[in-house]
Structures are given as structure tokens and as C-alpha cells.
């Protein structure tokens, strides 16, 4: 057997869980490595503290002297915790996180060593950032990109480094990261949602977006993974025959967590809790080797940071436990892939969840207002929402009978559907006192505080209402949550702005009372909404037909889906809500297209290499063994040998057949790539990679996987699905 594969299989059975001891309560460890408000309060005077709090809440500027005080506090705190370095921590358009460490250590002019960190180092840095994707906004000769402190997400210590969450912008002020537009979308939604809330409660001064993500992932033994260059380089298996046992017995889901995995999860939680990431849930997922973790929800900006941070921690801590983590949306063919459910809602400064039905008819009317407007917002920008979750890897998962379809629809359940039906029948104009009483008692009064059918979740829906929040389930496991949340926030902000104007017009021009106007505006907004509501089986072919009739977009692949970013409607949305300029939006479109091209290109190259220098030679080796055997039989039996060599001869022939197909396939694939690479237009190139290069991978893989079945197991160099999936 191939050395790597053999060695890791031998080692596997000796591997013991690296037990992780922690005797402290999580509540006493929580956020101990975070520069929380409570820590800041110990370091600065009341005046400074309240100025910082105001700036964080209102997004107002922090002046230089305050920044100096905060940086001094940060330095003192970080040094007391043993930190030696600091970094601006940001999320460039690569999808990962970025950091460039500088030591606190410095030398004064006199040569005296000191620890140095002042306000200017806190507020702004200029990393040599010429190699981050910018979609053409930044040329290398004007490579300056700046990171700027985000005071709404607290600094934390990772290892011995003080990490300061920052945004990342170009010299000319354009966003080059995911956080900048996210923050702007949160701000924009806060502005419009707060105005709408004032119809119901004058005390509302701020509306926060909340996010609770659920992160799915696979764990694979590090030694076994080392024999799979495809996994290491592309994050997914490009080869591998289905194991005889996959997930058909459903015996993994919510099953007992293997001891090696538990030890990993415990160490991960220990670190995450200290970083203030409120992890709450862990369990086995549907596929063998697949798991999930989820925190308690938080304010969206912080939650996005925490998701990025936890993914980074997961990868690092896994190595200590001899695992690697796979965040790829579809690492194994024929087996469920991974998603990242984004649970999203809105909360007021008065502590009300705006997507949770309340106790009184008025609070239920407020709930309905936000509920209906959210659906209307999704309807308006369904194609853009699909674009926000598009990637080469998520394409392999969406719509393949295990994950939400690539068509966006909204599931709300029977009870709320009935409420919307009743609301649609509200008569136009001013309502009579009787009708209003009836509405309040029998329509919105029907919405119970806890929705009965909120557990009757339709798992095939990409965007489902689940009792007190919407759950966006089509998001990919690898993706940065900010992308989809930014679109959702902007869409709702725009819709609420429009809704507010409609209500105002009814009040002013039709002389309506506030609640009459709200009822009327809601009823008017209900009309189109039915188009996006769907309660049936999202996996079925009949839904595809139905969705087509309804005019919903059905973009099966990323290049097509991405075009929604540059549609006029999207440009208007982002400009109106001040989230992204047209130039920034177009740059993002190009960044995503380029990433798509590169991902497929890397997969195709890796595939060609492995097929040529792992798989074909292994096939030949085995064929030679058979040829030797046949020669021997001939020696013994003379011309009767065929009687004894029938099977061998057949296999020899089949091996040649597969090798021929593999070799020719690769030749054609390389030629195709060469001709496509001449294409200068990013969209055309990406689309061609999708429809011309990608299919080769499946066609050629078929023959490689057949060889895996025929060839002597001793010779096969790549760890097999049965080993990768079941060895934990």
C-alpha cells in the first residue's frame, strides 16, 4: 500500500483522544480575553467611558485624545495578559481573516527599550495590502489600503497578540472588505426601522440586527488527509468511490459524539468562550464525519466577527487533535454537504424582538409590519440574495436534494399564511370601528405569542420563518455571513423606507388614523408577496416549473447568479441605502467572478495532476501484476491458460480502457482551459469555466473511481471514502 495511506491507517487505531481538562465554569471564563466595556470602565474615567459608549451607539467620531486614552488602556490590559504584539484584524474579500502583527516593543531615540502603542496605532494602519483582491479598485502601484478601528467590536487577545477588529478600505475610501458594507447596512436599517418603530413605541431610538449562525463542518483525520492532495489543495475530494455505507442508516445524526471529536470540541469551546464567543450547541450532523456548532445569537457585526474567528480557531485547534476541518460546502460526493444557517432578526433598544409576536394586538401589528416588509424585501431582491450566497463550492450543494434549492422562496407556515389571507381582505380606506375590533381580535389576535407551527419547519426552504426569526439556510458553510446579512439588511431598509412613505401619504393625504394607514399599507404590500411564499417541497421538479411561472430567478451556477450584483435594481438599492457605491459593487462582482474562475482552474489542475501521476500509474502497476500472472499461467498451462486467466484478461482490458479515457479527457480539459484563458471578459470566462471545464471533472472522475474499485487495495494511493468518513 502507498506509504502515506498505510502509515496513517496503522496510526489511526492507536490514536487516543487528547483529553482536555477544564475545571472552570464557562460563566467564569466567558470573555476573559476580551477588552469588554467592563474592562474599559476600570481603566478610564466616567466622562471618557460615556463618550466611548455614545460613539459606539451612535456611530459618532472618537477624537484623538479619547483614542489615546483607549489605546493606553488597551496596552496596559494586553501587557497584563502577557501579550507581546498587536494587530489590526480584518476580513478582506478573500473570505478569510487577515492580520499583520507588530510588537509593542520599540526603541526610543536614546536606545532605551519600551512598550509603545498610541491612539494613532489604534485608529489607523496601513498594511502592505497590495495582494488582497480589490476588483480593480486598487492597482498595485497605488497599493495603499487602510485598516480603521471598528469600536463596535471589542478587541481581544489571541495567543499573545492583541487583535483589534477593523474595517479595510482603499486609499480612495472604497470598501475592500466585508465589514464596511455590513456596518453601513446595519446603520441604514437602524435608521429606517427606528422610524417605523416610532409608530408603535416612541421610546425606540435604536434597532439592532441580530444574527445567530449555525456552522456545519467535517472533521477528517490529518494523516489520512495527507494522502489526498485534492482535499489539501481544494478542500474537497475530486475522486473517490462511494462507500458501501454512507448516510443511509441515519445513524450518525445526533448520535453519540466520538471521544476524539469531543476532546476537540472541548478545547475549542474553552478558547472560544474566553474570546467571548457564546457557544451553546454541538452535535453530529447528517453525514458521517460531519458536525455542527452554534452560539447564542448576538448583534450582527459582533456575530460575524465571531464566526470568522471561530472558523480560524477551529482550523488551528483541529491540528492539535490530529484532525483537519473542512468548511467546503461539498467535500464528498453523494454525501450531504455543509451549510451555515443564518438566523436573523431585529431587536430594539427597548428589548423587543421585532420578529416575535407579542402579547397585545398593537405589538402584533408591529410584528406583522416587520414580518410582511421582510418578505416584500426578499421578493424585491431574491436574485441578489441568491448572488450573496453564490460560490463555486456552494454551487455543488444548492439544489442537490439535500440543501435548499437555488431558487429563493420564503416559508412562513400555515398559521401565518392564514393571518395574511385575512389581512388581504381588509377593506380599503378608513376602517369602521367594528372592522378594526374584528381585525385586532380575530386576525392579529390569532397570532399566538408562541407560534404553534414554528416547529413544523420545512427543511427544504432556503428562507424560513421559525417562530421569532428568519433563517437563511442557503448560505454556504465557508462563506462570510456578512455577505448575505448585508443584502438582507439593505433590502429591508429600502422596503421600510418605502413603507414609511406609504403610511405617511395615507395619513396626510387620506386623513387616516395611524393604525388605519398601517393596515392599508400592509394590505397593499401583501399583493405581490404570494409570489415568493412557498410551503411545498423545494426539492421537487414541480417547484422548479412553478417558480418559473412565478418569474422567480433560477440561477443554478455562480457566474449567472452573480449578474444580479450589477443589475440596475441592485445598484439603486445599495446607493439608496448608502451601503456600496456602483464602483464598489462592480468591483465585488469582478472579485467574485475571478475567485470562481480560479477555484475551478485550481480544481481542474489538481485533478489533472492526481489523475496522471497517482491514478494512471497505479492502474498500470496493477495491470503489470496481472500481466505477470497471466504470463505465469501460460507457462504452466500452455495454450489452455485462457481457462484460468479469463478474469485477469478482462480486468487488464478494462484498466486500459479507463486509462485511455482518463488520459484523453485530461488532454481535452487542458486544451479547453488554454483556449478559455485567452478570454479577457471575466463573465464570459467564468461562465465558460462553468459549462466547459467543470463537466470534465465529473466525466473523468467516473473512470478514476472505477479504477479504485478494480485495483488492488494495497496499491491504491488515496485514502478512500470509507476511511476518511468513518475514522474518528
- Residue 378's contacts (CB-CB under 8 Å, 6 or more residues apart) are 385, 408, 410, 463, 488, 491, 532
Instruction: Count the alpha carbons within 13 Å of 451 in the hemisphere toward its beta carbon.
Output: 25
CB 363 → ligand ADP: shortest distance, Å?
15
Q: How far is 215 from 339, CA to CA, in rounded Å?
A: 7
Residues pairing with 410 in the sheet: 463, 533
CB 471 → Mg ion: shortest distance, Å?
6
Instruction: Sort 713 into a burial class: Cβ within 10 Å, 0-12 / 13-18 / 19+.
Output: exposed
Binding-site size for ligand ADP (CB under 6 A) equals 14
294/426 with CB nearer ligand ADP? 294
194/663 with CB nearer ligand ADP? 194
Instruction: Compute φ and ψ for 285, nearest 5 degrees.
Output: -100, -170
Q: How far is 582 from 410, CA to CA, in rounded Å?
A: 28
66/197 with CB nearer ligand ADP? 197
Which among 223, 198, 193, 221 is positioned nearest to 208, based on CA atoms?
A: 193
Which listed option, ligand ADP, Mg ion, none, makes contact with residue 211 (CB within 5 to 8 Å by class)? ligand ADP
Which among 607, 605, 619 is positioned nearest to 717, based on CA atoms?
A: 619
294/564 with CB nearer Mg ion? 294
211/707 with CB nearer Mg ion? 211
297/622 with CB nearer Mg ion? 297
In Å, what is the CA distance from 602 to each residue of 256, 319, 388, 656, 693? Answer: 37, 24, 23, 27, 11
- Residue 402's contacts (CB-CB under 8 Å, 6 or more residues apart) are 286, 336, 337
Which among 264, 274, 260, 345 is positioned nearest to 309, based on CA atoms?
A: 274
CB 114 → ligand ADP: shortest distance, Å?
44
The interface with ligand ADP within residues 125-154 (CB under 6 A) comprises none
CB 122 → ligand ADP: shortest distance, Å?
30
Tell me the per-residue interface mask from 461 to 500 with Mg ion, x by CB under 5 A, - otherwise: ----------------------------------------
Instruction: Sort 524 into a burial class: Cβ within 10 Å, 0-12 / 13-18 / 19+.
Output: middle
Tell me the per-residue interface mask from 586 to 625 with ligand ADP, x by CB under 6 A, - otherwise: ----------------------------------------
Per-residue cell: 532? 415568493
Going by their DSSP bridges, the two strands 161-170 and 85-90 should be labelled as parallel
CB 211 → ligand ADP: shortest distance, Å?
6
252/341 with CB nearer Mg ion? 341
| Residue 116 in the binding site for ligand ADP (CB under 6 A) | no
232/296 with CB nearer ligand ADP? 296
241/341 with CB nearer Mg ion? 341
- Residue 488's contacts (CB-CB under 8 Å, 6 or more residues apart) are 344, 377, 378, 385, 472
Which listed option, ligand ADP, Mg ion, none, makes contact with residue 369 (CB within 5 to 8 Å by class)? none
| Residue 353 in the binding site for ligand ADP (CB under 6 A) | yes
The interface with Mg ion within residues 333-352 (CB under 5 A) comprises 341
Which listed option, ligand ADP, Mg ion, none, makes contact with residue 297 (CB within 5 to 8 Å by class)? ligand ADP
SS3 447: coil
Which listed option, ligand ADP, Mg ion, none, makes contact with residue 345 (CB within 5 to 8 Å by class)? ligand ADP
Q: How far is 715 from 123, CA to CA, in rounded Å?
A: 58
| Residue 466 in the binding site for ligand ADP (CB under 6 A) | yes
Q: How far is 35 from 31, CA to CA, in rounded Å?
A: 8
Which listed option, Mg ion, ligand ADP, none, makes contact with residue 469 (CB within 5 to 8 Å by class)? ligand ADP
Which listed option, Mg ion, ligand ADP, none, makes contact with residue 209 (CB within 5 to 8 Å by class)? none
298/497 with CB nearer ligand ADP? 298
179/340 with CB nearer Mg ion? 340
Q: How far is 335 from 287, CA to CA, in rounded Å?
A: 6
Which among 64, 55, 386, 351 is positioned nearest to 210, based on CA atoms?
A: 351
Count of all residues that appear for the chain in the document: 728
- Residue 125's contacts (CB-CB under 8 Å, 6 or more residues apart) are 88, 100, 146, 147, 166
Which listed option, ligand ADP, Mg ion, none, makes contact with residue 191 (CB within 5 to 8 Å by class)? none
CB 257 → ligand ADP: shortest distance, Å?
17
The interface with ligand ADP within residues 196-255 (CB under 6 A) comprises 210-212, 214
CA angle 63, 69, 74 (to 5 degrees): 120
Residue nearest to Mg ion according to CB distances in the complex: 341
Per-residue cell: 102? 507588530
CB 539 → Mg ion: shortest distance, Å?
18
CB 251 → Mg ion: shortest distance, Å?
21
CB 278 → ligand ADP: shortest distance, Å?
8
234/460 with CB nearer ligand ADP? 460
Per-residue cell: 342? 443564518
Find out whether 474 and 89 touch, Cβ atoms under 8 Å: no
| Residue 345 in the binding site for ligand ADP (CB under 6 A) | yes
Grid cell 449555525 in the structure block, residue: 214
Which listed option, Mg ion, ligand ADP, none, makes contact with residue 623 (CB within 5 to 8 Å by class)? none
Contact range with ligand ADP by CB under 6 A, out of 38-46, 53-61, 465-473, 589-597: 465-473
The interface with ligand ADP within residues 266-295 (CB under 6 A) comprises 294
199/344 with CB nearer ligand ADP? 344
Residue nearest to ligand ADP according to CB distances in the complex: 212
Q: How far is 196 from 190, CA to CA, in rounded Å?
A: 10
CB 342 → ligand ADP: shortest distance, Å?
8
SS3 650: helix
Binding interface with ligand ADP (CB under 6 A) = 210-212, 214, 294, 296-297, 343-345, 353, 466, 468-469
Binding interface with Mg ion (CB under 5 A) = 341
Amino acid at each position: 500500500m502507498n506509504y502515506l495511506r498505510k502509515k496513517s491507517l496503522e496510526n489511526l487505531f492507536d490514536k487516543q483522544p487528547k483529553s482536555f481538562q477544564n475545571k472552570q465554569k464557562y460563566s467564569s471564563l466567558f470573555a476573559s480575553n476580551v477588552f469588554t466595556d467592563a474592562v474599559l470602565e476600570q481603566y478610564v474615567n466616567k466622562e471618557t467611558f460615556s463618550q466611548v459608549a455614545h460613539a459606539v451607539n451612535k456611530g459618532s467620531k472618537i477624537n484623538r485624545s479619547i483614542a489615546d486614552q483607549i489605546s493606553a488602556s488597551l496596552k496596559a490590559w494586553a501587557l497584563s495578559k502577557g501579550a507581546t504584539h498587536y494587530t489590526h484584524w480584518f476580513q478582506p474579500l478573500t473570505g478569510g481573516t487577515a492580520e499583520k502583527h507588530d510588537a509593542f516593543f520599540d526603541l526610543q531615540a536614546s536606545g532605551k527599550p519600551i512598550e509603545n502603542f498610541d491612539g494613532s496605532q489604534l485608529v489607523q494602519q496601513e498594511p502592505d495590502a497590495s495582494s488582497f483582491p480589490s476588483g480593480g479598485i486598487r492597482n498595485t502601484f497605488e497599493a495603499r489600503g487602510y485598516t480603521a478601528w471598528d469600536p463596535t467590536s471589542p478587541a481581544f487577545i489571541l495567543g499573545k497578540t492583541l487583535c483589534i477588529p477593523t474595517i479595510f478600505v482603499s486609499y480612495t475610501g472604497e470598501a475592500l472588505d466585508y465589514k464596511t458594507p455590513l456596518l453601513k447596512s446595519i446603520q441604514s436599517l437602524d435608521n429606517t426601522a427606528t422610524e417605523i418603530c416610532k409608530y408603535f413605541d416612541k421610546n425606540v431610538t435604536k434597532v439592532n440586527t441580530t444574527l445567530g449562525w449555525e456552522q456545519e463542518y467535517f472533521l477528517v483525520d490529518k494523516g489520512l488527509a495527507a494522502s489526498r492532495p485534492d482535499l489539501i489543495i481544494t478542500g474537497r475530494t475530486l475522486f473517490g468511490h462511494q462507500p458501501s455505507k454512507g448516510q443511509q442508516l441515519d445513524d450518525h445524526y445526533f448520535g453519540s459524539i466520538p471521544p476524539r471529536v469531543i476532546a476537540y470540541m472541548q478545547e475549542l469551546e474553552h478558547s472560544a468562550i474566553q474570546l467571548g464567543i457564546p457557544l451553546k450547541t454541538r452535535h453530529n450532523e447528517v453525514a458521517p464525519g460531519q458536525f455542527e456548532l452554534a452560539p447564542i445569537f448576538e448583534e450582527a457585526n459582533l456575530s460575524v466577527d465571531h464566526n470568522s474567528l471561530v472558523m480560524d480557531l477551529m482550523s488551528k485547534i483541529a491540528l492539535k487533535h490530529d484532525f483537519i476541518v473542512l468548511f467546503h460546502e461539498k467535500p464528498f460526493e453523494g454525501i450531504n454537504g455543509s451549510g451555515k444557517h443564518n438566523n436573523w432578526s431585529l431587536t430594539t433598544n427597548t428589548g423587543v424582538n421585532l420578529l416575535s409576536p407579542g402579547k397585545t394586538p398593537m405589538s402584533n401589528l408591529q410584528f406583522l409590519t416587520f414580518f410582511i416588509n421582510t418578505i416584500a424585501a426578499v421578493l424585491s431582491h431574491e436574485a441578489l440574495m441568491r448572488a450573496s450566497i453564490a460560490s463555486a463550492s456552494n454551487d455543488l450543494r444548492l439544489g442537490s436534494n439535500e440543501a435548499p434549492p437555488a431558487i429563493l422562496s420564503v416559508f412562513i407556515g400555515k398559521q401565518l399564511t392564514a393571518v395574511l389571507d385575512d389581512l388581504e381582505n381588509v377593506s380599503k380606506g378608513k376602517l369602521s370601528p367594528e372592522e378594526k375590533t374584528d381585525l385586532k381580535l380575530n386576525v392579529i389576535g390569532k397570532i399566538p405569542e408562541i407560534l404553534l407551527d414554528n416547529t413544523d419547519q420545512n427543511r427544504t426552504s432556503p428562507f424560513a420563518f421559525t417562530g421569532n426569526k428568519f433563517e437563511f439556510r442557503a448560505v454556504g458553510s465557508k462563506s462570510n455571513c456578512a455577505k448575505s446579512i448585508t443584502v438582507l439588511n439593505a433590502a429591508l431598509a429600502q422596503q421600510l423606507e418605502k413603507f414609511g412613505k406609504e403610511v405617511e401619504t395615507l395619513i396626510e393625504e387620506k386623513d387616516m388614523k395611524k393604525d388605519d394607514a398601517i393596515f392599508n399599507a400592509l394590505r397593499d404590500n401583501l399583493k405581490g408577496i404570494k409570489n415568493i411564499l412557498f410551503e411545498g417541497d423545494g426539492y421537487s421538479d414541480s417547484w422548479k416549473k412553478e417558480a418559473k411561472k412565478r418569474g422567480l430567478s433560477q440561477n443554478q451556477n455562480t457566474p449567472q447568479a452573480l449578474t444580479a450584483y450589477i443589475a440596475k435594481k441592485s445598484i439603486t438599492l445599495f446607493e439608496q441605502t448608502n451601503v456600496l457605491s456602483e464602483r464598489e459593487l462592480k468591483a465585488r462582482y469582478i472579485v467574485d467572478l475571478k475567485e470562481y474562475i480560479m477555484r475551478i482552474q485550481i480544481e481542474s489542475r489538481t485533478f489533472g495532476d492526481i489523475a496522471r501521476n497517482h491514478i494512471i500509474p497505479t492502474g498500470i502497476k496493477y495491470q503489470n501484476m496481472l500481466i505477470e500472472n497471466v504470463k505465469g499461467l501460460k507457462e504452466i498451462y500452455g495454450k489452455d491458460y485462457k481457462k484460468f486467466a479469463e478474469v485477469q484478461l478482462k480486468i487488464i482490458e478494462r484498466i486500459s480502457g479507463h486509462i485511455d479515457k482518463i488520459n484523453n479527457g485530461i488532454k481535452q480539459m487542458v486544451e479547453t482551459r488554454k483556449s478559455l484563458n485567452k478570454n479577457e471578459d471575466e463573465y464570459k470566462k467564468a461562465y465558460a469555466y462553468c459549462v466547459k471545464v467543470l463537466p470534465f471533472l465529473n466525466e473523468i472522475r467516473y473512470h478514476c473511481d472505477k479504477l479504485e474499485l478494480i485495483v488492488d487495495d494495497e496499491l491504491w494511493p488515496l485514502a478512500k471514502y470509507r476511511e476518511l468518513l468513518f475514522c474518528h
